[in-house]
């Protein structure tokens, strides 16, 4: 079995590191986005068990006001994972 993933994630975000309190202005919200793509490959290892190996790559879209906090306008990320599945 092979599975693929494609996602879009537009959100309103605040800069990291801000203390949140009800008594103060938290500053402006920024529009950021993310696109990700991933996949998973299952290998049968026993009659009722599969071992899955997968990964995900992501690119984020950050406005100029947040770029210094995120290391640029388009920071990237990656994740690898394994799973054990009972069929």
- The pLDDT value recorded for residue 34 is 92
H or E element that contains 76:
strand 76-86
Question: What residues contact 18, with CB distance under 8 A and at least 6 apart?
Answer: 26, 27
Q: Where are the domains of the chain?
A: 2-15+25-81
- The pLDDT value recorded for residue 13 is 59
**Across the chain, what does the average pLDDT equal?**
83
Which two tokens mark 39?
């996949």
Considering the entire predicted model, what is its pTM? 0.63
Q: Could you read off the pLDDT of 2-40 as tens digits, one per residue?
A: 555 566 666 655 555 555 556 677 778 888 899 999 999
């Amino acid at each position: 079995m092979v599975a693929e993933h494609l996602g879009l994630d537009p959100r309103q975000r605040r800069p990291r590191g801000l203390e949140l309190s009800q008594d103060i202005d938290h500053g402006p919200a920024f529009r950021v986005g993310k696109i990700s793509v991933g996949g998973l490959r299952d290998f049968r290892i026993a009659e009722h068990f599969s071992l899955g190996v997968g990964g995900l790559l992501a690119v984020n879209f950050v406005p100029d006001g947040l770029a210094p906090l995120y290391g640029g306008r388009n920071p990237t990320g990656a994740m690898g994972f394994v799973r054990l599945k009972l069929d």
